[in-house]
Structure 1
Amino acid sequence: MGAFTVLLLLLLPGAAGGAAVCGYCPGPLRNASVVARYCASRAGTESEGRCCRERGARPERLLGLDLSECSLRGLPPGLAEAAAAVVVDLTENPLRALPDGSFLGFTHLRCLAVPPALECPGGSSAWEEVTTRGGSRLCQGQRNPCNGSGELAWLCPENAACAPDGPGLVACLCESPFHGYKCLREGAFPGPLFCGILGTVTLALALLLWGTQRRKAKSP
């Protein structure tokens, strides 16, 4: 049953994740980081590795992520675990660029510190204030790209509404009762049918993998 368990862990998002990103760099929060300063000024927080969490919340909300001075040449693969973060520090790393969409889903991000050679994700227009101080560029006050002049409104099809999805990023959400490709289908989404098909396919794959591994184990 070992293969079956592994497959379930892979199919269930976050089942084997947890706080991996908090231990990506060794040691606790660095005293000089904007994350440490933010969490020290906020009551009811506790640190876990390079993360700052809201104490007592269920599930515990990750408020800050300190990846400063981690010798990063690229962003860690588990960065999405910190999508609820308010503060992120990436300073003192040899980062060359931040790929588009690096902070997809980071809708709560209010302060991002990056090396001064890098631009803020989404550009300066995605933030209320951009300042350079010493060895860091501070991107502060994430703006809602759906507000204002409405330049992004045309990106969403008819029957869809614009929603912020990170610095300079938007998502188009279907308005009820529309769903499907470009929100062209009207009516309730067939949830029970979809879940039934997904469950059947998942179970079939799991049984097939388990049977294959079992035959291999029995063969001499």
Structure 2
Amino acid sequence: MMAGPDGEEKGTTLIREDVIYMLHLLLLLLVGTISAEKSGDCPQEDLDRSIVPDVKLNKCNMPEILDNTPVGDCPKETYHNVSLDLQCGSKHGNMCPGKATCHIRLFTSPMIFLFAQAYCRCYRGSLSSIHSSCVNNGVRAMAQSSCGNRYGWVWIGVYKPYNSCHYLNADGSRLDYTNWACGNPNRCGAWCTALNLSNGQWYSINCCYTLPFVCTF
């Protein structure tokens, strides 16, 4: 039996409704995925090995807020370190938040971010907050000459707690200077910041990698 014009039109209408329904479902799925990413409710991915292929990744847990109170009586192991003497004037920003003078020191023994911060506290300092391009360039130059080709990255004192939308300085000072690379910083999960010695830019990477680090005290 052949369908009449009314039957053909009805069948076409049903097909169109099915297509519209499927498109509606796909749109809902897409919106849900984007909302999850914006809310931070997604798993933290490991750093792409093509970026840092030879750096050791450990398992560790990052606290929501880093302790930056000085610890002067803890035992300090002797690690190779290099001090940086920067001549950055006031126009380059504050090198030493809350202090009249300070010292920046690079430690070449690699640690995870949390242990690096603890070690800096033993010197009554913190992982270095960077407040100007002058300091950023000085730290990069110092690390390049000291680390050679062994490491292409160093920890600096910038991190993002898992449940926060914002990056913070480990020493509690205001984050008033950044030098993020294209595609950074990551917004989902807990991240720590490494300075790339090739280009001087900042990258959000897994806090459990072991890298040399820079302290200010």
**Normalised TM-score (structure 2):** 0.27
**Normalised TM-score (structure 1):** 0.27
Structure 1 or 2, whichever has the larger Rg, is 2
